[in-house]
Amino acid sequence: MQISKFMTPEIIFGEQSISQVGESMSRLGASRVFLVSDPGVVGYGWVERVIAHLRESGLAYQLWTNVTPNPKDFEVHEGVALYRESECDAIVGIGGGSAIDAAKAIALLGSNGGSILDYEGVDRITRPLPPMVMVPTTAGSGSEVSQFSIIVDTARKVKMAIISKSLIPDIAIIDPQTLMTKDSRLTANTGVDALTHAIESYISLAANPLTEIYSLQAMRLIAANLRPSVASRYNPEAKKAMAMASLQAGIAFSNAILGAVHAMSHQLGGLLDTPHGEVNAVLLPYVLDYNYIAAPEKYRQIAEAMGENTAGLSLAESSRLAQRAVTRLLRDLDVPLTLSALGSFEEHLDMLSENAVLDVCMATNPRDMTAEDVKMIFQNAL
């Protein structure tokens, strides 16, 4: 008998829900909040909004914004030093996956100590974390509801996956309005990340009936709404749907984990410091092709969720439509379709392939993969 766990934070969803930040922190017993974000989010005024709501609730705060895309180990260490120096007792993260992952890593070190490098892998956190409220401003990472924090080990040039239920925030506040300040490229990249979360969690070896519901619904929402969301930043219905899709995909992958696309993209992202969604976009069709024989029935359901008409088709015919639907969407979004467009790394292929096999996300990929298999996919995707 398979035993499954299913965990989520408290979720507050809807327009103007960002106004709940101060009240949420007060309910968690905070008095001085460490606010983590990045310069881009500050520039669009969202941090100012959060600060106003913290002040309305009588909360002091310390702002830290030295986060870059693909957050680095030394950035986390810098942030936790300021967290301790400013005597904060709770954390708010507002931004994309980078800011939220960094906020979670700072919370981890703030209570557990040591180096962030000590926590790579699964369930290495031993002490409770301070209260955390996360506010995503992109529809992609799902970090606001997940038990993941992805941090770059700069010495090895590898993205570390830190996984623990302790990293699930106490409260996630998802306000679709924040998506209207993102350009088309970021909207596409983050949307593809959400799609990859939905698909990989659905075919994961750890998938269960609860996660599968969220995975499939996220795919449906993405197939119907990612194109119009990329086309116009001012489409409120598309933004609301994509915010919900990202949330549902995040819940799914937090509980079912992921697969080879993420195991491989963690390696390239750490080496090249490229946008995570762009790497996923290139790898997803190739990994889908490789994994096909492990789950043809699920591939049929992916095809249907992505809008393909499977009526009258055999399982072999209908299931193959999944990859076609994904590829068509990626072409419409005008995202990179080859790894060579992202940078040069051929001399590192053996190292990248060997590290990918060891990545924790590979453990739930539905088809076994060796380093040679990974290298073949990397080469095919060039």
pLDDT tens, per residue, the chain with 382 residues: 566 789 999 999 999 999 999 999 999 999 999 999 999 999 999 999 999 999 999 999 999 999 999 999 999 999 999 999 999 999 999 999 999 999 999 999 999 999 999 999 999 999 999 999 999 999 999 999 999 999 999 999 999 999 999 999 999 999 999 999 999 999 999 999 999 999 999 999 999 999 999 999 999 999 999 999 999 999 999 999 999 999 999 999 999 999 999 999 999 999 999 999 999 999 999 999 999 999 999 999 999 999 999 999 999 999 999 999 999 999 999 999 999 999 888 999 999 999 999 999 999 999 999 999 999 999 999 9
The predicted pLDDT at position 5 comes to 80
The predicted pLDDT at position 253 comes to 97
Among residues 69, 102, 98, 76, the alpha carbon closest in space to that of 272 is found at 69
Question: Does the fold of domain 183-381 match that of domain 10-178?
Answer: no
* Architecture category of domain 10-178 in CATH: 3-Layer(aba) Sandwich (3.40)
Distances (CA, A) of 56 to 25, 26, 30, 59, 245: 11, 11, 14, 8, 31
Among residues 102, 91, 180, 201, the alpha carbon closest in space to that of 138 is found at 180
Q: 248: exposed, middle or buried (C-beta count within 10 Å: 0-12, 13-18, 19+)?
A: buried
List of residues 6+ apart from 76 with CB closer than 8 A: 102, 105, 106, 109, 116, 151
Radius of gyration of the chain (CA): 20
Structural contact between residues 105 and 64, judged by C-beta atoms closer than 8 angstroms: no
Structural contact between residues 95 and 137, judged by C-beta atoms closer than 8 angstroms: yes
DSSP 72: B
Kindly report the CATH number that applies to the domain delimited by 183-381: 1.20.1090.10
User: In the chain, what is the greatest distance between 2 CA atoms, to the nearest angstrom?
Assistant: 66
The predicted pLDDT at position 143 comes to 97
If phi > 0 it is left, if psi is from -120 to 50 it is alpha, else beta; for residue 87 that is left
User: What one-character-per-residue DSSP string does 127-189 give?
Assistant: SPPPPEEEEESSSS--GGG-SEEEEEETTTTEEEEEE-GGGS-SEEEE-GGGGGGS-HHHHHH
Buried b (16+ CB within 10 A) or exposed e, 105-132: bbbbbbebeeebbebbeeeebeeebbbb
Span 340-352, pLDDT tens digits: 999 888 999 999 9
C-alpha span between 330 and 157 (Å, rounded): 28
Segments making up each domain of the chain, as ranges: 10-178, 183-381
State which H helix or E strand residue 21 sits in. Answer: helix 21-27
Tokens 């986060």 label which residue?
67
